[in-house]
Amino acid sequence: MPVAGKLYSAQTLPLILDFVNIVNNIDFNNRGIDDDTTGEATIQILKKVRKIAYRLNSNHVSSLGLHPIVYFYSKDGRYKTVSFLSIVDLVMELDKIKKVNDFIEVREDFEELVLEYDYLLQQIYVKYRSVQKSYKYISKFLQEAIICLKSKKTIEETIDEVLAVQTFQYLTVRKTIQPTDSSVEDFNTNRKSEIYIKETFKNIPQCKICNGFIHRNSISFDHIQRKADGGLASVDNGQITHPYCNTGYKN
């Protein structure tokens, strides 16, 4: 196998194992796991993983179609393992308490919040110094944000309210200072990535139901006027949505 392949495998395997463990509530050190002599337990574990994978981003009817740039990458284009695992936990918690529709209702503002204040999630990670110790706290931060947005708080009010929670009082909102032309002449790598991501967002379609960003791997075609109400499968009566928005939330 080429060296690049080895590097990819070395970086990806721990993420997959953590994903499997979180979905199945297994200790990260695999304590208490017995040998699966028949394979039945392994099949059940993998079914749970597939269910959540479908939920995150796929064309399955349950898919929320979470756009990777919004949820799993930093503004400078770095993949964030802790963000992925936090979102996995968030989705599982929303399913558990049957609040997925609350997320759909505030999704547009929620995604704007995640993009604008991603550095707060990084501060949580820095405090706990590991992915496995911090992902639950990031998930809790995001859960609190959804609750605030659902109560009609603005994004700024939501951040203030979440940071007032004792668990998150150490977080610091930073003021954005734009560099002047005299202080910065050339674009560094991070700024180039941020510009690319910013420009990319201009061309990303949004769900016509929740206004969240749509990823190309997770698209549903929806009748604007329902088929049950006589809506035809014409171009003028069609719109693109997330699969769950079309088949779950809308119905």
Residue 64's pLDDT is 98
Q: What is the pLDDT of residue 2?
A: 39
In this prediction, residue 218 carries a pLDDT of 96
- What is the per-residue pLDDT across 227-238, written as a single tens digit (0 to 9) for each? 877 878 889 899
Mean pLDDT in consecutive groups of 10 residues from the start of the chain, 251 residues? 43 87 89 83 95 97 96 87 97 98 98 96 96 96 98 98 97 73 66 81 93 96 83 88 94 75
Long-range contacts: 73-77, Cβ < 8 Å, 24+?
73/197, 74/118, 74/122, 75/115, 75/118, 75/190, 75/193, 75/194, 75/197, 76/189, 76/190, 76/191, 76/193, 76/194, 77/190, 77/193, 77/194, 77/196, 77/197
Looking at residue 177, what is its pLDDT?
53
Rg (CA), the chain: 20
Going by C-alpha positions, the residue among 24, 25, 21 that lies closest to residue 13 is 21
Residue 72 CB contacts under 8 Å (≥ 6 apart), including other chains: 79, 80, 83, 84, 87
Q: Judge whether 213 and 206 are in contact, CB under 8 Å.
A: yes
CA distance 98 to 183: 50
| Sign of the alpha-carbon dihedral angle for 6, 11, 15, 17 | positive
Look at the pTM and tell me if it is higher than 0.85: yes
How confident is the model at residue 11, as a pLDDT? 62
What pLDDT is stored for residue 63 in this prediction? 98
